[in-house]
Structure 1
């Protein structure tokens, strides 16, 4: 019995040795790095090439909704024209009924809105605000659309302001330029007081000195006339002639106390839900540009640290030029949902409530709709596209955050 089993065991042992020898022989065959990479690549290739990237159900729903929206674009355009025609006809009939005299004469209807390219009665001041839009690679498509809406809102706010700044947009290109030339039909080319440049913010800041060179009477520039009270007069004169260039960033150690005549202030056009912290500050530091943050914690008590949207930063600067008071400017602009209130004198939170540090909660659907409608109605050159902009905003294009504060 034992003698019968022993050869079988020997045969199994010898077979194992042969397998081991074969494995060793295979392992010792030289293989080049290129062959290794090719083998690994071809092994993974079927999965990568044969399978489409998986997307969530929500993303799939959004994609299908967007496809339906694009497919019905022409039909909506026809319906908008029909509705506009019907509204005009109703207004004409109402005007005729209310204003016809005894002889059947009807006076001419007044225009329903201000003429296109109408510039408000505000005073132009020697201040430039530049929107640095060289962050396309850091944003998703819906965030780029949101930024476009914010830029439109900035133009609208500036046009209505009591004291207007010169506006400029740097690094204008890519998808933003495609959008402004396409769906917005190049309306930006007629915006008064707003210039668009392909160059970066440093080059545009140099150009800003040219359009701010026109002398201004101190009586006509609001808070700027009082901006440097308490400073040495010689220092004030020198800074006023040369102007300053400041990149607004919440990571800065400097606090912006006031705006200076001939000053240029740069706002980062970044809508990223605060994924890329410090990118604006680093960008300015690398280019040798001074940075500063708005004095939010010095004037406001906030429920938590907040991120300001691009148009809010711009509007705060406009309100400061009007009031000469940061506290009043903040209270005029800050949304009520943020729960901000003025600080008492000497009460200053040490941890700081500065924009660009934490993510702001998304606005509600009603707030997005109201903001979109206001931006469209106020900007005279986007008045022809209310439904397009409003519906795109309602389709999940949050009025996002910017790192500038």
Structure 2
């Protein structure tokens, strides 16, 4: 009996072992790979957690970026607001001035400007720019003079009562002419006269008035029967009385702008006071006076505060 029970127990153990072996054989490599996959998932989760946990340095950088972003957004918003306000202001000005200045096409305005300039050739005041002294000027000085000619012509185009401009002593093969073509768009189409002759042989001497700051006589009025001359000279070395001496050589009358009569010297740190103006500034004064018949108003427009002068009745 004992032997039978023992044998039966052995059979059961053997059967259990066989089932375990079968189970291991069924699972095989799949069970092992599944275990490794579970381990890999755990490792990846831990790695992600480490990456998502911000360090103190990263938090500081993030706040700094956010602060800069907010600052930039404020700047952009302010610029948009400013542009919008400027657009509305221009729109309001157009509406306000629409009844005073009718809207015209650019072609019509160009035609109107051309008509005024051509009319000035026959009935307007005449202004000569004496360009016979440019051969001693440097490239920088020529560039400055070309810019002054451009600004002078631009002011004359806008004037209600323009002058007729004549560039004398001006050759098309000169460095100044090349500089004018380079710097001034449409220079070859400017409505003005260009001649190689000098102003002293082009007009009767008794009609000429050479405007120079060294003259003893102040200009009182703009006379339609006179031809006014501006010396086209940009001299950084500031040679004195160049234009005055040239006028005397040809026995031509001279005049200066009435700066001393309507303006006073203003104290400044450099104690600098000068009546030497660029040709476009002198022209702005002449043009404004010709339209307004008001010297203080004209001088205020053309004489900048950097020259050290102010109007006599101005309040400091």
> Alpha-carbon deviations, 1:69-104, whole Å to 9, x = none?
xxxxxxxxxxxxxxxxxxxxxxxxxxxxxxxxxxxx
Within the alignment, does 1:282 sit opposite 2:245 as a pair?
Answer: yes
Within the alignment, does 1:179 sit opposite 2:142 as a pair?
Answer: no
Which structure has the highest helix share of the two? 2
Match of 2:258 in 1: 295
Match of 1:191 in 2: 190
CA distance in structure 1 between the aligned counterparts of 2:309 and 2:107, rounded to whole angstroms: 35
Q: Does the Cα contact within 8 Å between 2:219 and 2:256 map onto a contact in 1?
A: yes
- What SS does the aligned partner of 1:148 have? helix
Match of 1:144 among 142, 145, 150: 142
Match of 2:163 among 160, 165, 190: 165
Dislocated runs of 4+, deviation >6 Å: none
Match of 1:331 in 2: 300
Match of 2:211 among 236, 248, 262: 248
Match of 1:102 in 2: none
Alpha-carbon shift at residue 181 of structure 1 (Å):
4.3
Name the TM-score, length of structure 1 as normaliser: 0.45
Q: Does the Cα contact within 8 Å between 1:131 and 1:268 map onto a contact in 2?
A: yes
Q: Which has the higher contact order (CA 8 A, sep 6+)?
A: 1
Q: 1:139 to 1:116 in 2, by over 3 A?
A: farther
Match of 2:233 in 1: 270
CA distance in structure 2 between the aligned counterparts of 1:343 and 1:319, rounded to whole angstroms: 19
Match of 1:134 among 132, 147, 163: 132
Query: Bigger CA drift: 300-309 or 174-183?
Result: 174-183
> Alpha-carbon deviations, 1:320-369, whole Å to 9, x = none?
10111111101122224445322259xxxxxxxxxxxxxxxxxxxxxxxx
CA distance in structure 2 between the aligned counterparts of 1:151 and 1:316, rounded to whole angstroms: 15
- What SS does the aligned partner of 2:196 have? coil
User: Highest CA radius of gyration, 1 or 2?
Assistant: 2
Q: Does the Cα contact within 8 Å between 2:273 and 2:307 map onto a contact in 1?
A: no
CA distance in structure 2 between the aligned counterparts of 1:183 and 1:158, rounded to whole angstroms: 18
> Alpha-carbon deviations, 1:121-155, whole Å to 9, x = none?
86735310100011123321111011001001111
CA distance in structure 2 between the aligned counterparts of 1:269 and 1:119, rounded to whole angstroms: 29
Structure 2, unmatched stretches of 5+, are 1-102, 267-271
Q: 1:169 to 1:119 in 2, by over 3 A?
A: farther
Q: Does the Cα contact within 8 Å between 1:197 and 1:204 map onto a contact in 2?
A: no
Q: Does the Cα contact within 8 Å between 1:133 and 1:171 map onto a contact in 2?
A: yes
Aligned residues, how many? 199
> Alpha-carbon deviations, 1:221-245, whole Å to 9, x = none?
xxxxxxxxxxxxxxxxxxxxx9831
Aligned CA RMSD, in angstroms, stands at 2.8
Alpha-carbon shift at residue 276 of structure 1 (Å):
1.5
CA distance in structure 2 between the aligned counterparts of 1:128 and 1:248, rounded to whole angstroms: 13
Structure 1, unmatched stretches of 5+, are 1-109, 207-241, 346-405
Alpha-carbon shift at residue 291 of structure 1 (Å):
0.8
